[in-house]
Structure formats: structure tokens, C-alpha cells
Amino acid sequence: MTARGMKKYRCHKVVSAAKITNIDNEISSLTLEGTHGWIMDRLWFAKHQPEVGGYFVRYEDGYRSYSPAEAFEAGYTLIEGEE
């Protein structure tokens, strides 16, 4: 649903991302598929409320975010051969 008067946009950003395989809320830690764990601050956890199966996303400017799997997989395609 679009709000009246708002325009639609398509995403064209290149991001680094990994699927979250485990979360330890006590120490604000994420375990990411194919990587090591990441310690995030409690404010990040409170803001993004990550869930296992979703994606930890890092933008080119360094901003770190969370995306539910369905939204991420619908909006991004893996760039083969790049890490």
C-alpha cells in the first residue's frame, strides 16, 4: 500500500550482508553465516530487533542495519564472485 501523494522507489544500492544464524541477546552478539560473530551495542539491538534468519546489512558508508529475510531477498540479488 502506498500513501497518497508518495512516489515509489526501487533500490539500487550495493551492500555487504550475511544471514544471521544465532543471536545472544545477553552480550548483544550476532553469529553470521560464513563469518565470525559480531558484537553490537544494546541500542542497535533495541532499534533493529534482529531475528535469526534475517540479514545483518552493512552499507558502503558504514551504516549497519537489519533486514528481515523476506524483504532482503526480495530486494537484493547476490553479486557472484565478490566478497
For range 11-16, the mean pLDDT: 86
Q: What is the reported pLDDT for 22?
A: 94
Statement: residue 59 has pLDDT above 80: yes
Radius of gyration of the chain (CA): 14
For range 62-80, the mean pLDDT: 92
Alpha-carbon distance of 69 to 81, in angstroms, equals 21
- Residue whose C-alpha cell is 565470525: 36
